[in-house]
Amino acid sequence: MHRTTIAASFVIGLSAWIGLSAPAGAETIVHTTEFNVNYTGIRIGRATLKIEFDETDYQLDISGTTAGIARLFSHGEGRLVSNGQLEGVDVVSNSLSLEFSEGDETATLEMSFADGTIENVSLTPEQSPKSGDGWVPVLEEHLRAVIDPASSIVVPVEAAQIRDPRAVCDRTLNVYDGQTRFDIVLSYKSTRQISTDGFKGTSYVCKLKYVPVAGHRIGHRGVEYMAGNDAMEIWLARIPKTRVFTPIRIDVDSQIGQFVAYPKYFGVSVSN
């Protein structure tokens, strides 16, 4: 996957906070998760995820930077802001803004949506359209009923099903990251207890499957590895006082080693 995909997805990846206007009298939840990111047991980064939402609207603010030994080789940092609506058990993206810098290089991505359909994409530096033998083109039909990568970490369920792990995990997310269209298929794997500052309780471990759809080259080694990778999982915990789950731990086995994002803090505040 290219740099924008990695930066956006591994907040999953990824500190200023931008406020979200809520309807008068609505209860607003502000949730924060702070992650350490390890590679083969060595801390290489940290990320802060903030979600602000009420009954209908959400906004994500995700920031991350390299840390520890990784700074000896490269210093990278990123910031992502995404917003949209909660419609039952579905998430509908409105917009995404990503800026990622590494050394003297900076990449930005801006995307806007209308009723789940991509309306505009701006990527800097510009990327030439990929074509030729083996490339799967992104067609207009691929840009409908999609969400941005960051919005995949907002997982609403029906209030009556918050204790049903399969209702939480079992879902397919149609994602577009500005260049490639792929599915994230989640399925229930196990129930685990987890404890960190701000939270002690149950998490549902979901197996994560990457399914390429368009914008990739058939036979590409990285794409084939990700599509066949059965060693990816995401632990979802319920944000207190809500029907929304979000990652509290992420484990990804890659071609170059195992990445783990584990929590330093997982907590919430409520305001009116």
Residue 129 or 18, more confident: 129
The domain total for the chain is 1
Nearest-angstrom CA–CA distance, 101 and 255: 23
Highest mean pLDDT among 27-31, 92-96, 222-226, 257-261: 92-96
Residue-level pLDDT at 67: 66
Nearest-angstrom CA–CA distance, 79 and 226: 25
Q: Give exposure, 87-113, as e/b (b: 16+ Cβ within 10 Å).
A: eeeebebbbbbbbbbeeeeebebebeb
User: What is each CA distance from 158 to 8, 141, 162, 163, 243, in whole angstroms?
Assistant: 27, 29, 7, 10, 7
pLDDT category at 97 given cuts 50, 70, 90 is very high
Domain housing 186: 3-271
Contact yes or no for 204/230 (Cβ under 8 A): no
State the average pLDDT over residues 226-254.
94
pLDDT tens-digit map of 126-176: 887 777 889 999 999 999 999 999 999 999 999 999 999 999 999 999 999
> Mapping DSSP to helix (H, G, I), strand (E, B) and coil, where does residue 167 land?
helix
User: What is each CA distance from 168 to 125, 187, 265, in whole angstroms?
Assistant: 37, 9, 22
State the average pLDDT over residues 60-77.
71
* Residues facing residue 204 across a β-bridge: 191, 236
* Beta-strand relationship, 28-39 and 57-66: unpaired
Whether 222 shows a pLDDT value over 80: the answer reads yes
Q: Cα 184 from chain centroid? A: 10
Whether 7 shows a pLDDT value over 70: the answer reads no
Contact yes or no for 59/22 (Cβ under 8 A): no
> Mapping DSSP to helix (H, G, I), strand (E, B) and coil, where does residue 171 land?
strand
pLDDT category at 2 given cuts 50, 70, 90 is very low
Residue-level pLDDT at 12: 33
State the average pLDDT over residues 203-214.
97
Nearest-angstrom CA–CA distance, 165 and 194: 15
Nearest-angstrom CA–CA distance, 261 and 36: 6
pLDDT tens-digit map of 81-90: 999 999 999 9
pTM: 0.87
Pick from 246, 4, 1: nearest CA to 148: 4
Contact yes or no for 120/175 (Cβ under 8 A): no
Contact yes or no for 212/225 (Cβ under 8 A): no
